[in-house]
Amino acid sequence: METKNKKNTILIVDDEPMNIVVLTHILKPDYTVYIEKDGMSCMEAVYELMPDLIILDILMPTMSGFEVITALKNDAATKDIPVIFITGLNSSKDEEKGLKLGAADYISKPFSPAVVKLRVKHQLQIVNQMRIIYKISITDELTGIGNRRYFYNNLEKEWQRAMRRKDPMSFLILDIDNFKYYNDTFGHLQGDIVLKETAQLIEKSLARVTDKAARWGGEEFAVILPHTDLDGAKFVAEKIRAAIDEHVFSTEAPGSTHITVSIGINCRVPNHASNYTLKNFVSDADKLLYRAKATGKNKVCASMEE
């Protein structure tokens, strides 16, 4: 689900080159550091990078740090990213204002390297601890991939992102064919083996880190494909279907080494002006899955097809 052992990422936003040089020198040995020089660029970068922490100057032209944090905290996709303000302001009212707007901490100028390191380390320890707790809550215990909660969280974020960018996104829902019969015939332990190996095959078929797979429930799985048109989604779906069809599943029971899946695909470009909702998007993919099952199984059915 997430890449292990990655450095935490920090976005530094400051219009003063010397501040950027100093902060980068202090933090770069331990973290992956990105730089922006104004509030507007910061907002664009945040959606691209989704950093673990933002270090934000208060006094900037065009868009102040207070305006930036207000926008961040009002967006569900960015509201949980901690923000540390850097400032030369000594007014307690300014500090109070920043904390009320959701700032996690303050670093005063001129910078003390030790203080910068400790304040950043403290915030990122909280981020990493919360991430561990969250990961446990969104992981399917049997297969080790994301669960339905994990999937819906990512689906909502990608839907909103696709709407902002006016990009296509695709959604795959997969169901193991005749799984009840398989479980009844070979037993639930063998069924669990099939679920685990199916999850692994799906994940191996996804080429990009932005593509997300999860166990939808029971013998159903789902995949989000951001920035993917219908042809691209059909290519991925067929790759998954073929990989499962050709796979020899681990077993000690003769005749239980082969299964197939049916897949429904929906592809849309989300639009604020449209009445077509995320709920419709998921529901239509589910209908296409059942069309695949009703018309022969071990096949892919996609939206925009008769």
Instruction: Report the C-alpha gap between 88 and 120 in whole angstroms.
Output: 18
Question: What is the distance of C-alpha 154 from the center of its chain?
Answer: 5
Of 298, 239, 224, nearest in space to 263 by CA: 298
DSSP structural state of residue 298? S
Give the tokens for residue 293.
Answer: 């099952």
Instruction: Report the C-alpha gap between 126 and 142 in whole angstroms.
Output: 28
**DSSP states along 133-175:** HHHHHTB-TTTSSB-HHHHHHHHHHHHHHHHHHT--EEEEEEE
The one catalytic residue in 48, 219, 238, 246 is 219
Per DSSP, what are the bridge partners of residue 174? 221, 263
Q: Is residue 48 annotated as a catalytic residue, yes or no?
A: no
Q: Give 85's Cβ-side CA count (13 Å radius).
A: 27
Q: Which active-site residues does the annotation give?
A: 219
